[in-house]
Amino acid sequence: MAPDPHAKVSPAIAEINGKLYVQGFDQDAGGNQGSFVPRLSIYDPASNTWTIGASPTLIRAFANAVTINGKMYVVGGCVMSDCRIGVTSARALEIYDPATNTWSNGAQMPTARFGAAAGAIGGRLYVTGGTTDCPPCGTTNVTEIYDPVANSWTTGAPIPATRELASGAVVNGLLYVIGGFQRNPANTLTGVAVGTVSVYDPVANSWSTRSSMPIFRAGAAIGVINGDIYVVGGANVSVALAASESYNPGSDTWTEHAPMSVARTYQSGGVVNSTLYVIDGTNGAQLTTNEAYTPADLVAPTTSATPSIPPNGFGWNRSNVTETLSATDNMGGTGVQSITYNLSGAQGGSGTVPGNSTAVVIANEGTTTLTYHATDVAGNVEPDHAVTIQIDKTAPSLGVPQTQFANATSSAGAVVNFVLNS
């Protein structure tokens, strides 16, 4: 992965239309404030290249960024990377529009903070936790919600366990706040890294707790791939980590993965096409190398069958039926390799067709069952699906009797003859 020509420490990141927008600032090796230059770097994974967007107004570190309706929203942090006096002015909400390459401002966030967790749900920005001016380094448990349409902030339920530099991710409309640095209430200049997982439900406006992350850390990169949350890097207070773990919300379980090549913290992480890109950061020295991780494809493709002619209300067709089988793989998957089908009943036959689409013609009268599934390049096979096709092309016939003769004789001897002609 190409290095960022303008490497940053503690940048904010957002994915928009397959590109990663990394907001932060340039600095010299010594981190002197006089060398700071506001910067928006744009990474295109398709071409593995970097470009530069319009610079934000503020120079800030430890900010949060999300994407809402194709725009990047940046809020919070420490202006000039000075968390002693630069937190209040970082309440400013800056909005970047890639279509016009311009920045604008929204309403200020009511609570000044840095190192918060954030996510976008239902077209709104959610920000929770974090730390105020440091020192005295007081933490806040306030949850605030920004509505771009109304350009206003409201308050949500406070996070139960406040911390700073936790990582935020959204899955199925829930905000997951993972890990972070929990300050000691008796001495806020000290604290420990935690693995706490807090989950906010905006519909119920309530919090719940899930299984803790096994490797406690703060300042980690985070990204969602196929519904799983990947947490990479970060630091256990003073030691940068290379560790990579993923959390499955459905099973409430954690899985450890191969570590990064370089331990780092205060980096950013973004997902494009099921690949997690970890950008910039530090491990005692500012890093210019970046890394990308693509999980193994463990998800089978899915196939649908569409008939050329729908059956009547009784489930029958009176002409040939063509079933079009179309398969799709999961986003970022290895792609559909083939479709396999089998016919049984009134019509037999089978086949395996390369690609993600094929057509099967059913012509025989009677009941035919079409069974099918797709296989992806990784070898994942979906369970069989089946559809029943009933065809009757022959019109019914009405039977008419031939000429019939009958007679009757009365008691007087008279004979009556009856003839029924067809």
DSSP secondary structure code for residue 396 in this structure: P
Token representation of residue 99: 């279509």
The per-residue pLDDT for range 63-78, each reduced to its tens digit, is 999 999 999 999 999 9
Selected residue with higher pLDDT from 151 and 398: 151
In this prediction, residue 400 carries a pLDDT of 63
Closest to 193 (Cα-Cα) out of 254, 263, 138, 241: 241
Token representation of residue 394: 């022959």
What value does the mean pLDDT take over residues 391-419? 73
Q: What is the pTM of this model?
A: 0.80
What value does the mean pLDDT take over residues 203-210? 98
- Centre a 10 Å sphere on the Cβ of residue 279 and count the other Cβ atoms it contains: 27
- Show Cβ contacts of residue 136 under 8 Å, excluding neighbours closer than 6 positions: 188
Domain borders along the chain are 12-293, 302-391
Closest to 53 (Cα-Cα) out of 112, 13, 113, 83: 13
**Cα-only R_g, the chain:** 33
CA distance 193 to 12: 21
What value does the mean pLDDT take over residues 116-121? 98
The per-residue pLDDT for range 37-62, each reduced to its tens digit, is 999 999 999 999 999 999 999 999 99
Query: Considering the chain, what percentage of its residues have pLDDT values greater than 70?
Result: 95
Residue 76 contacts residue 113 (beta carbons within 8 Å) = yes
In this prediction, residue 397 carries a pLDDT of 83
Token representation of residue 284: 């005692």
197-201 sheet: strands from edge to edge: 167-171, 174-178, 197-201, 206-210
Q: Is the peptide bond before 136 cis (omega within 30 degrees of 0)?
A: yes
CA distance 155 to 25: 30
CA distance 204 to 240: 37
Highest mean pLDDT out of 9-18, 25-34, 323-332: 9-18
DSSP secondary structure code for residue 33 in this structure: G
Instruction: Tell me yes or no: is domain 302-391 CATH 3.60.15.10.
Output: no
Give Dmax (Cα) for the chain: 138
Q: How far is CA 348 from each of CA 28, 287, 367, 369, rounded to the nearest angstrom?
A: 73, 63, 11, 9
The H or E element containing residue 405 is strand 404-409
Please classify residue 404 by burial: count the beta carbons closer than 10 Å to its beta carbon, then call 0-12 exposed, 13-18 middle and 19+ buried: exposed
In this prediction, residue 237 carries a pLDDT of 85
CA distance 176 to 228: 11
In this prediction, residue 408 carries a pLDDT of 67
Q: Which of 128-132, 295-299, 380-384 has the lowest mean pLDDT?
A: 295-299
What value does the mean pLDDT take over residues 92-114? 98
Q: Is the pLDDT of residue 331 over 80?
A: no
What value does the mean pLDDT take over residues 231-249? 96
Q: Is the pLDDT of residue 211 over 70?
A: yes
Long-range contacts of 100-109 (CB under 8 A, 24+ apart): 101/53, 101/54, 102/54, 103/54, 103/56, 103/57, 106/73, 106/146, 106/148, 106/151, 107/146, 107/151, 107/152, 107/153, 109/75, 109/76, 109/144, 109/146, 109/153
Which CATH number fits the domain 12-293, given the four candidates 3.40.50.720, 3.55.50.30, 3.40.50.1000, 2.120.10.80? 2.120.10.80
DSSP secondary structure code for residue 72 in this structure: E
> Using 50, 70 and 90 to split pLDDT, how confident is the model at 404?
low
Per-residue DSSP letters for 148-181?
TTTTEEEEEPPPSS--BS-EEEEETTEEEEE--E
Q: Is the pLDDT of residue 422 over 90?
A: no
Q: Is the pLDDT of residue 417 over 80?
A: no
Token representation of residue 2: 């190409």
Q: Is the pLDDT of residue 182 over 80?
A: yes
